[in-house]
A and B are shown apart, each in its own frame.
Chain A
Amino acid sequence: SQQGEEDPQALSIQEGENATMNCSYKTSINNLQWYRQNSGRGLVHLILIRSNEREKHSGRLRVTLDTSKKSSSLLITASRAADTASYFCAPSGFQKLVFGTGTRLLVSP
């Protein structure tokens, strides 16, 4: 199993701005997933990108994957206060998911 490392640990922005979070990992993967956790709630799956994909979109979310650099980024465009949460990446190589410490995003009105 392997763990993704999210960067930055915390991010504070204003509503309407874009938020970018990064994830690095160490070994080869089959896919990489991003999850969101609102305070006091369980994790919610946002998006899964496979190792043969370079970019994927879902609504206001854009995920990129660079397997040569073993890194991924999550971009949230036109952020809203409701996007305030912790965001986790989970690289997967047919092994159990290991979640990092996440990026805490605060979006102020």
Chain B
Amino acid sequence: DAGVIQSPRHEVTEMGQEVTLRCKPISGHNSLFWYRQTMMRGLELLIYFNNNVPIDDSGMPEDRFSAKMPNASFSTLKIQPSEPRDSAVYFCASSFEDLGETQYFGPGTRLLVL
């Protein structure tokens, strides 16, 4: 298996632009998680899906952030409009079970908002 795939790996954009991050989970996994990692705040869970349904989005910072999972093999995290404080590494992870079991992380997308 190729593991969790994320794209792009790096993104540089200007403040106010829309940013879309993509994730392909491991085939057969039914839970998908989006995390954000910064030096100041560490690793934060933004949202997770189970069977393509958003279960908990309490970690989403504000309305500028939205996430979708239209099918079992694809998810997007969108930031519109982007701000410099959104600069971080965004990770997608998937797991076979629901909460509390082993998660498999993608390589991350390093986002820089100028």
What's the interface size class on B, roughly? 20 to 34
Enumerate B41-73 residues with CB–CB distance to A below 8 Å.
42-43, 45, 48, 56
Docked-complex contact A96 and B56, CB < 8 angstroms: yes
Q: Give chain B nearest CB distance to A54 CB in angstroms.
A: 19
Interface of A is mostly: loop
Contacts A98-B45, A99-B42 known; A42 to B108 CB distance under 8 Å?
A: yes
Interface flags, B80-114, vs A, CB<8A=1, else 0: 00000000000101000011111111111000000
Q: Which of A48, A88, A101, A102 contacts B102 (CB 8 A)?
A: A48
Is A108's beta carbon under 8 Å from chain B? no
Docked-complex contact B100 and A95, CB < 8 angstroms: yes
Q: Which residues of A contact B (CB under 8 A)?
A: 30-31, 33, 40-45, 48, 88, 92-102
